[in-house]
Amino acid sequence: MSLSIMNSKQSDCLSFFSKFEAPAPAPAAFIREVLPTNIGRLARGEHFSVFKREHAEEAASVYNFLISIDSYDDFKANVEKCRAVLNEGIYMYAVSVAWLHRSDTVGNLLPPSWQINPKSYFSSEAILHAKRAARRRPNALVDSASLPLFTTGTVRDTEFKLAWWREDIMINGHHYHWHQVYPWMGIDGKTKDREGELFYYMHQQMIARYDAERLGAGLLRVEPYVDWSRPIQEGYNPHLTDYYGAYQFSARPVDMFLADSWQDPDDPSLVSQQTYHYNRLLDAVNTGHFIKADMKSMDVTIDSLGAAVEASISSPNMALYGSVHNIGHDLLAQVTDPDGRYQSAGGVMGDTATAVRDPIFFRWHKFIDNLFVLHKLNLEPYTEKDLALDDLNIKSVYVKVKKSEEQNVLTTRMEDFVVDISHDMFLDPDPQASPNTPVNVKVKQINHDHFEYIITIESIKAMKAAIRIFIAPSFDEHGSPLPLSSQRRLFIEMDKFVHNLQTGTNNITRSSTVSSVVKPTDLTYDQLKNRKVGQKGEDDCTCLADRYCECGWPEHMLLPRGTGSGMQFDLFVMATDWSSDSPDNLDRGTSYCGLKNEKYPDSRSMGFPFDRKMEYKTIDDFTAGFSNMYSTPIKIKYTGDKTSH
Ligand code: CUO
């Protein structure tokens, strides 16, 4: 593949997401002869929700069609035709999914969704201000202190304490992207290796991270939203609009009740059906098997349960187990206008790009996660044989901020982050603006000082070891030490890497910047425009063709914020034998995304060793008996708000 071809593909990709102008009339012959019959069903201007079956089916038809086209040039021509007929949301989603799954587009990155569709990421007030400022001061240099910071709430709402976290544009971008890499409708009718398990694990880790933030902010851990006859105590006002800024996403006042949705008379979503399907899922968890459509039984595994709960097209039996997770998103999005009498846009829970902003997202996903926990509680705890690796001994582990000598204290801070939203696909062209005028919006982001793990291991033989690193808060809401039975759900994966151990003492220094859970910082639209593909570098993915290199947790959010005086976490490190964990000896991939077109590289259960019941009282009790484990308390100190507000 020559350099010039790859550069032109990158520029094609950007052009696919350029301004969405008023559509030319769709070429009738194209619709009739080329596109699958259900394409073009969702009208322009409607809000696309991948949680709605009909929308998801149309999107899947589009991306499967685009992926199936042999020649790149034909693919490109068809994307352009799709643009003329598709709903905007379906177009963005389906073209992205196709781009991520074609083999001839590898190494060319999608532009950040928060730049091409900023109205799903920034408040309407911020966008309005940014447009006005750009008109007044074209080409002005950005003085971030002069940009106002808009918020979606006030201190009267306790949940507002963590709005900065839930509304982080890159967390939301990660979530939108993850669901493109793992669409529940599958690719060409099939889901990927361990997709159901990854659905469980990626979301479980989001909840663990959010709970760590809650403990740091003095809030209780998330209560699952399980009793649907009771009011939802949390409200939320997203201050977001649709693609064109025409209507607002619905705000949800406190104490709304879930209600049946008859917005689509042919496909109603009923709370009683959700209860029925939830009970059938409990039947499956309790008995250990599903009943398939042909009445044959199928074992419940974490992977099949993930498929049933989400529910993906690999669900063992959708008639019996429903689509509890997806319909829950949809019902919660419609809770303020369930029969559509006010033609409301719906809440943010209806869109993977926006759902994480709402506190109910975490309550909903903790309810979902509890089903997985119930299943795992039925499994035997790991045995010593599963856990031990006597050939090596972890002698010491500590962390330190780079350029600092202080051990086991990590530091975070809040920073300004300014985004140019002038590449909005749906931004009205401003007749007064000169071309290339930046339209700047400011948000706050947490960040941390880069740090490293210093690990000393003695090994009696040379071997390939997987080093698994987690942290979890040490104390509960009242300052009492967390028993391992509760703490295990709070362990956050920080990194997993493979190291070739030599016989004798091994001193390992591992940088936080190469963690397997994070992805390199998103390249902005303008950086992509100027990117020289083919050059190796931190931000270059061409050397990692088998990785989902754009998929991963945002690097700036790797650490929980901690507290001013230092919040104590338990750092846990475990070494296992990679030759048995990964018989194919694959690259470790990315923890939340795996490898492209390959099996998930680690054959251990995701979340191992914390995913099963543990009969040890504390993390130190657990590690004390195993030479291949180590735990130590560390502190995360929040050094304050370095922003201009
Ligand atoms: Cu990612 Cu509920 O699955 O949002």
pLDDT single digits (tens) 469-516: 999 999 999 999 999 999 999 999 999 999 999 999 999 999 999 999
pLDDT tens track for 133-152: 888 776 666 667 777 788 89
Distance CA 238, CA 251 (A): 6
Q: Which residues contact 109 (CB under 8 A, 6 or more apart)?
A: 10, 13, 523, 528, 531, 541, 549, 550
Q: Which residues contact 353 (CB under 8 A, 6 or more apart)?
A: 113, 117, 120, 121, 172, 173, 175, 176
According to the model, what pLDDT value does residue 539 have? 42
Pocket around ligand 1 at a 6 A CB cut-off: 175, 179, 203, 325, 329, 352, 355, 365
From 465, 503, 437, select the one nearest 580 (Cα to Cα). Answer: 465
pLDDT tens track for 95-104: 999 999 999 9
> Residue 230, CB half-sphere, CA atoms under 13 Å: how many?
6
Residue 4 pLDDT greater than 50, yes or no = no
Complex ipTM tops 0.85: yes
Distance CA 593, CA 177 (A): 10
Nearest ligand 1 atom, CA 325: 2
Pocket probe for ligand 1: among 93, 203, 206, 323, the residue whose CB has the most ligand atoms within 8 Å is 203
Which of 195, 197, 213, 310 is catalytic? The answer is: 310
Tell how far the Cα of 178 is from the centroid of ligand 1, in angstroms: 9
Q: 574 with 619: CB under 8 angstroms?
A: no
Nearest ligand 1 atom, CA 310: 3
Backbone angles phi, psi at 563, to 5 degrees: -135, 165
pLDDT tens track for 360-402: 999 999 999 999 999 999 999 999 999 999 999 999 999 999 9
Name the percent of the chain lying above pLDDT 70.
89
Nearest ligand 1 atom, CA 328: 2
Tell how far the Cα of 51 is from the centroid of ligand 1, in angstroms: 9
According to the model, what pLDDT value does residue 143 have? 67
Tell how far the Cα of 71 is from the centroid of ligand 1, in angstroms: 34
Q: Is 80 a catalytic residue?
A: no
Tell how far the Cα of 594 is from the centroid of ligand 1, in angstroms: 18
Q: Which residues contact 369 (CB under 8 A, 6 or more apart)?
A: 200, 203, 204, 207, 224
β-pairing verdict for 463-473 and 409-420: unpaired
Q: Which residues contact 609 (CB under 8 A, 6 or more apart)?
A: 382, 386, 387, 574
Q: Which residues contact 495 (CB under 8 A, 6 or more apart)?
A: 453, 467, 468, 469, 510, 512, 514, 515, 516, 517
Ligand 1, atom 4, residue with closest C-alpha: 352
- pLDDT band, very low/low/confident/very high, at 540 (cuts 50, 70, 90): very low
Please give the average per-residue pLDDT across 233-258, as a whole number: 94
Cα dihedral value 119, 360, 183, 310, nearest 10: -170
According to the model, what pLDDT value does residue 1 have? 40
- Beta strands (DSSP E) in 385-450 are 392-401, 409-420, 440-448
Write the DSSP assignment of 567-580 as a string of letters.
Answer: EEEEEEEEEEEHHH
Residue whose pair of structure tokens reads 């010593």 in the numeric block = 384
Tell how far the Cα of 40 is from the centroid of ligand 1, in angstroms: 25
CB atoms within 10 A of CB 366: 22
Maximum CA extent, the chain: 72
